[in-house]
Structure 1
Amino acid sequence: MTGQNAPELTFWPGSMASRGFIAVLDAAKSGGFPATALSPLTLHELLVSGHDRQWIRAEAEARDVRPAQLDGAASWAPIPYADDLPAPIKQRFDFTSTEVLDLAEAACMDSVLACGAFAAGTVPLDELVTAFAAFCRMAEDRGLRVELEFVPFWGIRDLATAWEIVRRADRPNGTLLLDTWHLLRASDEPQAALALLPDIPKGRVTGLQLADASLSSHSDTLFGEGRFRRFPGDGELGLDTVIRPLLDKGGLLTVGAEVFGEAIDVLSTEEAGIRGAETTRTALARASQ
């Protein structure tokens, strides 16, 4: 899909982020992605190891890749994360709202991906609306968009709740990001989410992560099931049911595959970037027909 209104292809590293900053940039370059997402932890570790923001930007510019999205922020919520989260995930989210925005600004990013990593039912909806609006105001001062993502095994479990937070917060820079795996594979009621999509106004869903999967189970837990995500088109989820209405509505700014587990871990850095780009473009083209 090409054209003035086509969303920008963004590389989401998934589990290959563990290979480090340079590998993420190299993968994005190999796939021809103009933009990439990076975690706060990746940027923080670069800065504390002696690299400055000029070096970060120079390495990205040398590969014609723009760090565009900070993945992700949890400290905006009254409870940043649940006590029983694995230590590596806690470490990834262990940054204050100000630190998150400082990191995004240092890398000249466009947006911050926010999620609710607290346990379901532990924060009232009214408090989430107030907190999200406050975080959006902080981000707006930096020229940053905030995209809220629902994650079924954490505190904001469905699209309806995420949209209610964004709608009631009513901030011009507060929008939604959808993940096809979360919506079609991990949700309790995917049909309810699909039915809601047409009611969300244009420009309020600005980000889309693509991942496919088998409909059969590979893990005893939903969180563990996330390690079996596949590239778009390699599974049974019917991604067109999400992609097509978003493309038809318009306002989608970014799209890219996000894959965890063996499907990407067995690939070289170059192969991961190429595979991510090819399958994303194919999925967009198919949904545009």
Structure 2
Amino acid sequence: MEITFTHLQLAGTLPPEPPRFGFDTRLAAVSGSGGTGLATRVSELDQLLATRSPAELRALLDAHGVRFVELEAMYGWFAGDREPEEALLRYAETFGVPRIKTAVLLVPPAVRPEADLLAERFAALCDRAAAAGTTVALEPVVVLPGFDHVAAHDLVRAVDRPNAGLMFDAWHVFRDPAGMDVVTSVAARHVAGLELTDGHTTPKGTVYQDCVDERLLPGEGDFDLAGLLAALRATGADVPLSVEVLSTTLRALDPAENARRTMAAVRSLLARV
């Protein structure tokens, strides 16, 4: 089974800081661990393409047996702002990136648009993404109010586009009381992927601190990851697996060691389930 890495898994930093480790170092780490893909961001691609052509970058990826699987992250569309998406869609088309991750981040005092307007804007976004040959992966986020799994599921069902689905992050699933209910009821066509991570039953520190600093490698915590995997497989979906373990421990490691430990944990989990 293919396992891929989110951008933050190996960056060694959290936004808005740039990655602490260079792209070539992270690419080698993914390849050396047996991973097959990684995510990147527009800002990083802008920097890479300042010194290399798209063909040279594709050749480098091919040499490592790794591909871009995701662009992170598209925001602003829900407020009617299309400008940030232009580069994302252009790069998705240039490199054949299969999905762009997005979320509705409602930082107070921001409020969610009315349901009809939100659906209209999301549908239009998905149609523009389809023209670029990519999928929109909508991730429910529970560290901010206003857009949990129920809200995200309702939106994806409302637009029902073939290139729109939910990106389930295990941390958010198990921190949302309705997370597993959505997982067990989602249609296969509405599943865009699963980000594996683990955690403690009770959050350590604030919910935000737990989200960005205290996650654990798959199989090392209390989350029922076997049940989550089984529930998603029961939908009939072909679920792409990636890893996003946000942890002060892993951020302190060099990418090769981070990737090695991560892949060992994921393989152990999958062998058990």
Q: 1:21 to 1:273 in 2, by over 3 A?
A: same
- Total equivalences in the alignment: 262
Cα offset, 1:105, TM superposition: 2.0
1:28-53 CA-to-partner distances (Å, cap 9, x unmatched) read 10221111111222212223x33331
Which one of 233, 248, 256 corresponds to residue 219 of structure 2? 233
| Structure 2 partner of 1:104 | 92
Q: TM-score, normalization: structure 2?
A: 0.88
| Structure 2 partner of 1:121 | 111
| Structure 2 partner of 1:167 | 157
Tell me, in whole angstroms, the C-alpha distance in 2 between the residues paired with 1:38 and 1:95. Answer: 19
Residues 153 and 182, structure 2, Cα contact 8 Å, conserved in 1: no
Percent of aligned pairs with the same residue? Answer: 27
Q: 1:244 to 1:285 in 2, by over 3 A?
A: farther
Cα offset, 1:102, TM superposition: 1.0
Q: One-letter code of the match for 1:30?
A: G
Q: One-letter code of the match for 2:210?
A: E
State whether structure 2 residue 174 is matched by structure 1 residue 184. yes
Cα offset, 1:265, TM superposition: 1.6
| Structure 1 partner of 2:255 | 269
State whether structure 2 residue 233 is matched by structure 1 residue 247. yes
State whether structure 2 residue 14 is matched by structure 1 residue 12. no
Tell me, in whole angstroms, the C-alpha distance in 2 between the residues paired with 1:178 and 1:257. Answer: 11
Which one of 22, 25, 29 corresponds to residue 23 of structure 1? 25
Q: One-letter code of the match for 1:213?
A: G
1:131-189 CA-to-partner distances (Å, cap 9, x unmatched) read 1111110011111111110111236531111111111111111111100001113x2x1
Q: Note the 1:57-68 alignment, pairs <5 A.
A: 57-68=58-69
Structure 1 runs of 4+ aligned residues shifted over 3 Å read: none
1:202-255 CA-to-partner distances (Å, cap 9, x unmatched) read 2311200011112344333x2222221111011112222211111232223410
| Structure 1 partner of 2:134 | 144
List alignment gaps of at least 5 residues for structure 2. 12-18
| Structure 1 partner of 2:208 | 223
3-state DSSP of counterpart to 2:61: helix
Cα offset, 1:283, TM superposition: 2.3
Tell me, in whole angstroms, the C-alpha distance in 2 between the residues paired with 1:113 and 1:275. Answer: 25
Tell me, in whole angstroms, the C-alpha distance in 1 between the residues paired with 2:182 and 2:140. Answer: 14
Tell me, in whole angstroms, the C-alpha distance in 2 between the residues paired with 1:278 and 1:114. Answer: 28
Residues 203 and 252, structure 1, Cα contact 8 Å, conserved in 2: no
Tell me, in whole angstroms, the C-alpha distance in 1 between the residues paired with 2:203 and 2:231. Answer: 28
| Structure 2 partner of 1:32 | 34
Residues 115 and 156, structure 1, Cα contact 8 Å, conserved in 2: no
Q: One-letter code of the match for 1:62?
A: A
